[in-house]
Amino acid sequence: MSGALADRFVQRRPAPVAQEEWQLRCELAAAYRLFAHLGWHELIYNHLTVRVPGTEHFLINPFGLMYREVSASKLVKIDLEGRKVEPSPWAVNPAGFIVHSAVHAARPDVQCVMHSHTTAGQVVACQQGGLLPLSFNAMFYGGRIAYHDFEGITLEREECQRLATDLGDRNVMILRNHGLLVCGATIADAFAEHYMLQRACEVQVAAQATGAPLVQPRDEIAQRASAQYDRTARKGDQNTLLWDAMLRWAWEMDPAFAD
């Protein structure tokens, strides 16, 4: 991110909070605001989380706040058992704890987890074939999507292991009849995955709605495109460039996310 924006975050940091954690708090709060702006929220429900470096704690949204109300200082720090590790006046949604703790516990390589109930994401999650290799964005996920069958509202701890097992070493999972789940080594990586997956779902739903015959490229072409995206974005610098631009946009819209 630009030095100027990083400096602005630092200037708002409360003295007790370590600088690295505050940076993550600001970025995660910005992600919530951006999800709200892009229409990816579910009112007070769903969650974006980030692991606090060097710990098994992660930051999650206060239950009861709209995404547009989330700010860095309001994020709640909890452990893998869902217990608050610092005082907070806010509660945590048990369903969010179950989904996110399952991933954070099983995947030490993952720093950020994002879960959404977008309309397009849920439509694709309801389709037997899942995400199809139809659009440019969908090609990025050839052979890279995991699936988890619906078991009801995610309130039971027993589902954690099944969620983690179904995800495996992949960073994208469609929760059947439910929604989308993505994760990444950074907030930038997770945000980029969600954006591209969401766009792929939107185009699939729109294309199917036309009723016209659909063209699916050969499997080897989809695999090639997926490898190209992996090289340029997931292992390149494009995700960082995208996220830096999104942070600038979030700041221009309302810098209060960094309070």
The pTM assigned to this predicted structure is: 0.95
The mean per-residue pLDDT over the stretch 220-241 comes to: 91
What is the distance between the alpha carbons of residues 76 and 83, in angstroms, rounded to a whole number? 10
DSSP E strand boundaries for 136-223: 145-148, 172-175, 179-184
The single-letter DSSP state of residue 61 is P
User: If residue 113 lies in a helix (H) or strand (E), which one and from where to where?
Assistant: strand 112-116
CA distance 106 to 49: 15
Residue 155 makes CB contacts below 8 A (sequence gap 6+) with 94, 95, 98
pLDDT of 1: 65
pLDDT band at 15 (very low <50, low <70, confident <90, very high): confident
Domain 3-258 fold is L-fuculose-1-phosphate Aldolase (3.40.225)
Question: What's residue 8's pLDDT?
Answer: 82
Which backbone phi and psi does 49 adopt, to 5 degrees? -130, 155
Single out the residue of 151, 129, 112 nearest to residue 201, CA to CA: 129
Per domain, the residue ranges of the chain are: 3-258
Classify strands 172-175 and 179-184 as parallel, antiparallel or unpaired.
antiparallel
Strand partners, 180: 116, 174
DSSP 213-254: ------HHHHHHHHHHHIIIIISSSHHHHHHHHHHHHHHHH-
Chain segment 57-104, per-residue pLDDT in tens:
999 999 999 999 999 999 999 999 889 999 999 999 987 778 888 999
Please tell me the predicted confidence (pLDDT) of residue 129: 96
